[in-house]
Amino acid sequence: MDYVDRLRRFAVNDPSLDVDQQVEPTALDARTVAVARLAALVAVGGAEPTYGSLVDEAVSAGATTAEIVDVLAAVVPIVGLPGVVAAAPKLALALGHDPFGADSPG
């Protein structure tokens, strides 16, 4: 199935979409998918445990910690600064930092 057909099926919520096969990205590499999923997690105000698994996925796919933190900066224009501020401690914990502890600036 080409991208136009996939787009059409998503747009009409086609019941024949196979969630296990046809919903997974086909044109993006694993690193890009992982970073995009982190951005989406920030946008929806995801739960803290999810950050850990998605950060692990991103690092395993080759993303650096600097790139992962840059996700926050990249989504500010979309989700707003309050959304990014709410996500930052969750991301920090997922990266192994205590956002309010000894390794915090200040």
43-70 pLDDT, tens per residue? 999 999 999 999 999 999 999 999 999 9
Asked if residue 103 belongs to a domain, the reply is: no
- Say if residue 8's pLDDT is above 90: no
Q: How many residues does the chain have?
A: 106
Which range of residues forms the domain containing residue 76?
A: 25-94
Asked if residue 2 belongs to a domain, the reply is: no
71-105 pLDDT, tens per residue? 999 999 999 999 999 999 999 999 999 888 765 55
Asked if residue 87 belongs to a domain, the reply is: yes
Asked if residue 19 belongs to a domain, the reply is: no
What is the count of structural domains for the chain?
A: 1
Asked if residue 33 belongs to a domain, the reply is: yes
Q: For position 21, what pLDDT does the model report?
A: 59
C-alpha separations of 88 from 7, 35, 67, 106 in Å: 32, 15, 14, 16
Cα separation, 52 vs 65, in Å, equals 13
Who's near 105: CB < 8 A, 6+ residues apart? none
